Every structure is written in C-alpha cells, then in structure tokens.
Structure 1
Amino acid sequence: MTPAELSRTVLRAVRRAVDDGELDAAVCAAGEERIVVERSRAGGQGDYATNVALQLARPAGRPPRQVAEILSRRLGDCPGVAEVAVTGPGFLNFRMAESASGTLVTEILRAGDRYGFAEADAPTGQVVQLHAPHEVRALVVMDSVARLLRAQGVLVGTSCVECPRPEWADVLGVRVDEIGGPEADADIRPVPAPADPLPLGRDAARWALLHPAGHDRPRIGDAYEEHLAQRETNPLFRVRYAHARTRALTRSAADLGFTAAPGEVAGEEDLVAALGDHPRILRAAAQQHAPDRLARHLVGVADSFMASLHPAVLPQGEEKPSAAHRARLALAEAVGTVLAGGLTLLGIDAPEHL
C-alpha cells in the first residue's frame, strides 16, 4: 500500500465511523480535505503516521486520542496494514505488511513519470494566477511552480510585467501567458540571481536558480565551473548520474537475461520511504511555491540509491539472477522513474546516458 492509498484508506475509515454514528457528521466536511500520511520520524513507531485525529477532534467534539482509537479499530484489518497504534495525544501509527515495498514499486512503475501527480479524473477546480517581476530567477521559479501546480490538478496562469528576454525563453525555456500586471494570487519574488545564468545552459542554469531556497542567494557568478562539474560535489550531476545508472542497470540486466519484478527488498527502508514520500513532497512544493523542496528531495533519493541499492542490483561473478535481483532491479527502475519525473517538473532533462 502506497502513502496515497493509505491516505484514502484512512479517509474511508472516517466516513464509515460517521455513517455508523461513532463520529459526528460534521467530521465528514473536515475530513474531505486530503489526509496527510507521512513517513514516521526518528523515534516514531511504525512506518507511517498521521495526525488526522487531532485535525478531527474539534468537529467530532471528542478528545483526539478517543477519535484515534475509533479510527484505529477500523484500520487494523485493512489489506496492506499489519498494525495500527495510537501514540501521544492521538497520532495514528501504521506498520505496513511485508509486501509494502513491492506494492509501492508497482504503483510507481504503473504511474511512470506521473507518479505523485493528482489523478487525471479528479481535478481540484482551483485556479491560480502567478506573477513575477522581469528578473531571470523569478521567471524560472514561476515556470517550475506552474509545472508543480498543474501536476496537482490546478489550472495555472502566469504573467510578467514585460516580455521575458528572448534568450531567457530560448535557453531557459521560460514562457509566460500574459504581459502586464493582472491581479495575481501569488507574486513570485525569490532573491534575484547575482549574475547571468545563461552561460551555464538550460539544465545547469535552472538547477542553480531552483536548488537554493527562495530566500537564499544563488551562487552563480563565482561558481560556473562548480555547476557544470561532472563530479560528486555537484548535486545536479549526482541526480542525473543516478538516473542514468538506473537505465544502465536495466540494459545490463537484459544482457544477462532477466527483467524487473517488484517484490520485497531487504535493507532499503530509507530509500523506499523516500520514494513513498515523493507525492507528499510534490504537493508541498506546489502549495508552498517551493521547487527547491523537490530539488533537495531528488538529491536525497539519488544519494540513497547510489550508496546502498546500486551495488547490489546485478549478480556478481558466477551468481545467477534470482527473485531478489529482479526485485532490486524493479526498485532501481522506480528510482529512475521518480528522478526523471522530478527533473521534468524542474524543467531539466534526465538523460539515459551520462
């Protein structure tokens, strides 16, 4: 069960509790918003947790822990959930069944580059107008924010006080819908770029402008070589290299006569957790207008993959391909899918060879 599926499962449990009279009907309206399920933090219990009971306590007219106990009884026997526990003032904690990683990988590979996107048949109906000053970083950030919002089912319009410079459009892929200053829902105003990013080319320039948080000053003028370096000190290189390695593993496995088959992969809990957290990161980056959150997440996924999974995917020496190798290959392909989809939302290419 993926975090998105677990979120929907919790919402169904809330509705059933209301239908059976255990919770007040007002809870339904409060629970209609997306229920956030997150990976358990350090010191937490289980694989995932949600604070939905604290969110629903007021409309339910009950203490949060009592709401959590009501929901836990309805969630303990759900497929894919091995155990539900209530901790603290009313947090619901979930330990997933052993096949959780295989289920997640299957979901990622099925969705492809759209993993973490809003469901195509469930648009939000929300309309957002973004506006940016005539400044290169603001326009690149606005472009990426628009991509993120559209991926979450939001209808987005963009505007700028004047036409972007031709080279910004040609090199960096910046496009705006309107010129002028229409009433906007959000002004995109990150700290301006301290130097011209165009010498870096599209991919490195966009990364240099998007990877730092909006309130941080990007390093460009004194760091051209750093952003173009093909080495581990360059986070964009690490992300793109990890993606290219996942594709190379698929080609090498085909040469060895085996293909991917999702299944349980031992020892990769952190990597699986990062992949499962991807939809939440996309939602947060869109809602907070913060593509830097996605950029940092991709670096974390890439680093985790290269450090632990990458060396163990292919058989070594005279070793024959096994179910474990096929499961690890499927997990590697899921990593590649997440990295490619995330880079695309940042407006950056994900090459298969690097």
Structure 2
Amino acid sequence: MTPEELSAAIATCLQEAADAGELTVPAEALPKELRVERPKSREHGDWATNIALQLAKPAGMAPRRIAEVLQGRLAEIPGVSKVDVAGPGFLNITVDAAAAGELAKAIIESGAAYGTNRGMAGTRINLEFVSANPTGPIHLGGTRWAAVGDSLARIFQTQGADVTREYYFNDHGNQIDRFARSLLASAKGEPAPEDGYGGAYIEDIAKEVTAGCPGILEAEDPQEEFRARGVALMFASIRESLHEFGVDFDVYFHENSLFEDGAVEKLLEQLKASGNLYAKDGAWWLNSTDYGDDKDRVVIKSDGHAAYIAGDIAYFKNKRDRGFDLCIYMLGADHHGYVARLKAAAAAMGDDANRVEVLIGQMVNLVKDGVPLRMSKRAGTVVTMEDLVEIVGTDAARYSLARFSSDSNIDIDLDVLTKRSNENPVFYVQYAHARTRAVGRNAAAAGVERTAFDASALSHATESELLAVLGQYPGVLTQAAAFREPHRVARHLEVIAGAYHRWYDACRVTPMGEEPITDVNRTRLWLNDAVGQVLANGLSLLGVSAPERM
C-alpha cells in the first residue's frame, strides 16, 4: 500500500462518515488530499495522520472523537491490520506485510515518475540563481547556488510546477567598467588598476581579445572595445563552466536591456504617478518603509542616474509581465537587505509581495589537510567552480554542495570527498545504487527474474525498514519543494542507502548453492530494483549520476 493509496482511503472514509452523519464537517472543509507520514517510532505503526486535529474546529467536535469515528472505518480497509488513536487525536496505522510489500512493485511500475505529484501544477516559477558578474570565473558561493538552484528547479518540476531557470546577466554598471580597464591595462603590459581585477584569467582574456582584434590598442576607444569583447568572452566561459557542471539556463537576461529599452524610465514614471516616489535632497526615494522595509531607498540619485534598485524593480516587473506567479531570487550572503527591499518594491507597484521570495546562501569553505584553501590557480584571489570540480569531480561537487541547508555556512573536506569509502556521502549513495545493479546482474546470471511477486514474502525486519524509507520518498520531495530545501533529498537518499546496505547483509536475492529459486528470491529482486530506481530518481534531482558499476 503506497502513501497515496492510504491517503485516498482516509479521504474516502472521511467522506463516508460525513455522508452518514457521523461527522458534522462542512463539505468545503473536507480535504481532497491529505498527508500521511511515518511516525518517529515504528512502535507507533507504519503511518500516522493528524487529520482529526485539523478538522476539529470546522467540525465542532473534539479531535479524539473524530479520530475514533475514523478508526472504525479505517480498520475495515483491506491491507490495514491495526488503527490506534493516540494523544489528543493522532491516528497511527499499521498495514500488514503484504500491503507494505506492494510498494516495491508500485515503484517499479512508476519508474522515473515515482515520487512525483501535481501539487504545484499551474504555478509558473521564475527561479533566478548564480547570476555571477561577468567579470571573473564563478566562485564557490556561485557554485553552491548552481548546485542548489538547479536541484530545486528539478524538485519543483516533480511537483508539477512550470519552472524557468534564469540567469541575470549584470552587464550594466561600474564593475563592468573596472573589468574593461583591467583588460586594457593587461594588454598594455601595465599593472591592474587599483580597483580592478587580477588573476591569470584577465591576462588570458586580454590576449584573446588582442588576437581577435590586432589593432584594438589603436582604436578610438580601446576600453569600450575591451569591454564589449571581454565581457562576451568571460560570459561564454561562465556558460561553458556551468554547462560542464550540468547546469543550463532557459533565459539569460541582460540587465542592460532594461535601460536600453526604456523599461527603467517607464517604471520610474509609473512609481512617481502612484505617489510611491518622493523627492528629497535632489534625489528620488521609494517610500519602501510603508511596505515593511527598514528604510526608504534611493531610486534616482542626485546626479540623475538610476540607483541599482531601479533595475531590480524594473526586472521584477518584467518577470511579472512575462506571466510568472512566483519570482524566486537566490542571492549571496551579502544580500540580506534585498529580502525586504524587493518585497517592498513589489508592494509599491501594487503587486503581491508574496510573489517575491529571496533565498540567501551562506559561505562555502574548502578544507584540505585541515587547512582552508584560499587561492585559485586561475582567479588568483578566490577558489572557483573549476578548482572544486578539478579536485573532486562534478558528482561529488554537486552532491556535497546540495546536501547542506543553504542558509548555513559549510566546510567541505576535500580529503573526505576524494575517498572511495562510506565516509564519503556521495560514494555511499552511488555505491548503494551500483550494488543494486550488481545484485540484478547476479540474479540474471542465476536465473532469478522479476516474474512472480509475493508481497507477503517481504517480512524480514530489514525489509520492513527498507519499505518504510522508500515510502517516505514522495513526502520528502513535497517537503523539499515546500521549504525550498534540496538537501532533504540528499539526506534521505543516505537513509535509503543505509537501509539497503543492512538489507543486503541480511537477505539474499539469489539462492545459495543448489537451493531452488523461489518466489521469495523473485520478490526480493523486485525490492532490490525498486531501491535502485528510487536512488536513481533522487540522484537525478541532484544532478548526480547513478553509476551501474563502481
């Protein structure tokens, strides 16, 4: 019995109890879908639901009384062996071995779709992440967002959401000017400007620009030439690095376009007309404190130039005009102020501030031999995506960055990530998948096939544990999407891998020696392959390969 089947059965029991007059719940309060979860202790059953507590207020009944009404009806469902009422009204449900074992077959039949649902269907999400300035290689913070953002997009899609991955291309402002001056200085053989950029990559790009345009230093405005050509080359390098990291974007949005097509000017006039911009000290200010910000923000500076927030507001409006219901910004640790600022800007435009979400990612440190790595061979100042991938590979890099909550600082021990042992979490999960494939090959060689299936044969304690954690997987995906936390998927894959390794040690798929092949062997092969399917599904969401052999 899958969680979905049990949830549907409980919903049916509720409706039948209401129709029979046993519960006085208004029709609109009856849930069409409800969640069942694994209790913390298996002594409390296989599944639990708090639906009785949720319905107490609309029903005008004590939650325990609602639970007791449902208890009698649930106990009659085929496959349910026991229903207990606990505490103020929790329902703990135990299913028989056969009902639990059916999950193995259901997973195989669902394949790559196992764990997915349509809970977010109809929601259009614009997910903006990385958006590193095209003035240098992607550093570790951007690399973390590449891993987390792409995984989150994939998880949203498992819930039926329509997701657009977007990269905000910062090609407007002072940092681009500093980048161009740095390239020009390198081409002339001069040291980098005091506020410029250093590192071997500046020299490489300057040489590439000069090779492609030999007379560039004699041009009327060589700095502008280096700006245009250098930014194009740097951004092409960034896109290639991301692609090799398994991250591709649907939209590359150019910040400069907001200024070139007059979107910023038009928006500012709109805000002035709405009364949400006011003049003070020769500048124009957004009354963002009226909408929850800690201070009003300068939108047009006293010199007449637009402040950075002007582009941010115009960019949000552009996203909404493109039809996105939810705009999620994944920003670095130094952007905490943007949370209230962007929500206030949305509200000032008459939009719903809840259509803006800002996720803040914290710092990443690489540690080798107990010492933090600080310098890059290429960038000179910070460790980059290429540095991390070169040391541990894409799989380990993506997995290690996605398995931690993004709002926490993390130290990644490179010595652990390069080990081929259970101490290395990505190896631990990938090895479990590879082991399921090895078991499958051995079974085929021994003549064991997935023909007969006897769910009641999966009665060993390790099989009950394994089925339990496989059954939790769809709920983990739902929670990962709801809380914007891909690390929940990684951590649960490690739980599944642990349960699988324990089962592997206790239960054989292939018979020993001359023992005959039985339905127990065949049914265990279904379970083995179900584990492989779920591990492959989960690793795919993290952008990590599921190897056949290791």
User: What does residue 139 of structure 1 align with?
Assistant: 146
Q: Secondary structure at the match of 1:350?
A: coil
Q: Secondary structure at the match of 1:188?
A: strand
Distance 1:15 1:116 in 2: 26
Q: Secondary structure at the match of 2:548?
A: coil
Distance 1:174 1:219 in 2: 23
Distance 1:38 1:98 in 2: 18
User: What does residue 294 of structure 1 align with?
Assistant: 489
User: What does residue 11 of structure 1 align with?
Assistant: 11
User: What does residue 516 of structure 2 align with?
Assistant: 320
Q: Secondary structure at the match of 1:161?
A: strand
Distance 2:42 2:248 in 1: 45
Contact 2:155 2:480 (8 Å CA) reproduced: yes
Contact 1:132 1:139 (8 Å CA) reproduced: yes
**Equivalent position amino acid for 1:190 in 2:** G
Distance 2:20 2:506 in 1: 52
How big is the shift at 1:38? 1.0
For residues 201-240 of structure 1, the aligned pairs below 5 Å read 201-220=393-412, 223-240=413-430
Match of 2:389 among 194, 198, 204: 198
User: What does residue 254 of structure 1 align with?
Assistant: 444
**Equivalent position amino acid for 1:42 in 2:** S
How big is the shift at 1:323? 2.0
Contact 1:138 1:189 (8 Å CA) reproduced: no
Q: Secondary structure at the match of 2:165?
A: strand
Matched, 1:176 2:249: yes
Q: Secondary structure at the match of 1:86?
A: strand
Matched, 1:186 2:363: no
How big is the shift at 1:44? 4.7
How big is the shift at 1:74? 2.0
User: What does residue 479 of structure 2 align with?
Assistant: 284
Q: Assess, with a 3 A threshold, how the Cα gap between structure 1 residues 4 and 43 changes in structure 2: closer, same or farther.
A: closer
Contact 1:138 1:188 (8 Å CA) reproduced: no
Pairs aligned (count): 349
Distance 2:518 2:22 in 1: 49
Match of 2:534 among 323, 335, 338: 338
**Farther off after superposition, 156-165 or 98-107:** 156-165
How big is the shift at 1:173? 1.6
Distance 1:43 1:114 in 2: 27
Match of 2:125 among 108, 114, 128: 128
Distance 1:325 1:47 in 2: 24
Matched, 1:270 2:468: no
How big is the shift at 1:56? 1.1
Distance 1:131 1:22 in 2: 50
Distance 1:233 1:270 in 2: 22
Distance 2:434 2:514 in 1: 26
Deviations 1:306-348, CA, capped at 9 Å, x for gaps: 1233552222233332222222221111110110000001111
**Equivalent position amino acid for 1:297 in 2:** H
Distance 2:116 2:42 in 1: 30
**Equivalent position amino acid for 2:72 in 1:** R
Q: Assess, with a 3 A threshold, how the Cα gap between structure 1 residues 324 and 45 changes in structure 2: closer, same or farther.
A: same
How big is the shift at 1:296? 0.7
**Equivalent position amino acid for 1:218 in 2:** I
- TM-score, normalised via structure 1 length: 0.91
Deviations 1:181-233, CA, capped at 9 Å, x for gaps: 5432433332133343332332111012101221233334xx33421321111
Contact 1:127 1:154 (8 Å CA) reproduced: yes
Match of 2:433 among 215, 232, 243: 243
Q: Assess, with a 3 A threshold, how the Cα gap between structure 1 residues 43 and 300 changes in structure 2: closer, same or farther.
A: closer
User: What does residue 306 of structure 1 align with?
Assistant: 501
Contact 1:87 1:93 (8 Å CA) reproduced: yes
User: What does residue 24 of structure 1 align with?
Assistant: 24
- TM-score, normalised via structure 2 length: 0.60
Q: Secondary structure at the match of 2:406?
A: coil
Q: Which runs of 5+ in 2 are unaligned?
A: 133-141, 171-234, 256-311, 317-326, 328-355, 366-382
Contact 1:258 1:326 (8 Å CA) reproduced: yes
Deviations 1:87-132, CA, capped at 9 Å, x for gaps: 110011111022023211111111012211116xx86322333233
Contact 1:171 1:198 (8 Å CA) reproduced: no
**Farther off after superposition, 342-351 or 173-182:** 173-182
User: What does residue 154 of structure 1 align with?
Assistant: 161
How big is the shift at 1:349? 0.9
**Equivalent position amino acid for 2:49 in 1:** T
Distance 1:144 1:89 in 2: 38
Matched, 1:75 2:74: yes
Distance 1:192 1:111 in 2: 38
Rg larger in 1 or in 2?
A: 2
CA RMSD in angstroms, aligned pairs only: 2.1
Q: Assess, with a 3 A threshold, how the Cα gap between structure 1 residues 124 and 24 changes in structure 2: closer, same or farther.
A: farther
**Farther off after superposition, 76-85 or 258-267:** 258-267
How big is the shift at 1:30? 4.9
Contact 1:57 1:67 (8 Å CA) reproduced: yes
Q: Secondary structure at the match of 2:44?
A: coil
Q: Secondary structure at the match of 2:145?
A: helix
User: What does residue 62 of structure 1 align with?
Assistant: 61
Q: Assess, with a 3 A threshold, how the Cα gap between structure 1 residues 245 and 174 changes in structure 2: closer, same or farther.
A: same
Matched, 1:102 2:101: yes
Q: Secondary structure at the match of 1:39?
A: coil
Q: Assess, with a 3 A threshold, how the Cα gap between structure 1 residues 138 and 228 changes in structure 2: closer, same or farther.
A: same
Amino-acid identity (%): 37
User: What does residue 333 of structure 2 align with?
Assistant: none
Q: Secondary structure at the match of 1:278?
A: helix
Distance 2:96 2:123 in 1: 36
**Farther off after superposition, 151-160 or 172-181:** 172-181
Q: Assess, with a 3 A threshold, how the Cα gap between structure 1 residues 21 and 125 changes in structure 2: closer, same or farther.
A: farther
